[in-house]
Amino acid sequence: MDCIFCKIANKEMDALTIGEGDLTITFLDIFPHAKGHAVVIPKTHRETVGDLTKEELAALFSAVQDAVQLLGHALQPDGFTIGINQGKAAGQAVPHLHVHVLPRFERDGGGSVHSVVNAPSEEPLAELREKIVQSKQKKMVG
């Protein structure tokens, strides 16, 4: 597999690593969008959140928490934006799940997660909820 994040996880490629566990690795993004912009990945190739085992999911978000604490202590940011781009339509450039941890500073020019997209459903929320609940019930039965 020719996955850049797998190569980093397998130590076949160097990265500016700031944290590592049995199931995850955290490193500075080489194309940072903020001072201290880090990326947390599972060491095993997984493309989406849904592909993770429960153990991998817990380890991933524990590593995100560690990154926030480490970057917070080192850089003293005013906040953090933490996000996942899942799928090409969402901007996932590397098809290996990764969580962006971006330290945020007053007047850094960035927006909230809400600024990424503004295309609310035209369908009434109650109808949308019903569709979601019915889909969940079908999945549990099937």
Please say if 100 is a catalytic residue: no
Measure CA of the first residue to CA of the last residue in the chain; give whole Å.
Answer: 33
Paired residues of 103 in beta bridges: 80
Q: Which residues 6+ apart lie within 8 Å of 28 measured at CB?
A: 15, 16, 18, 36, 37, 38, 39
Of the residues 37, 45, 73, 98, only one is catalytic, namely: 98
CA 78 from centroid of its chain's CA atoms: 20
Residues tagged active-site: 98
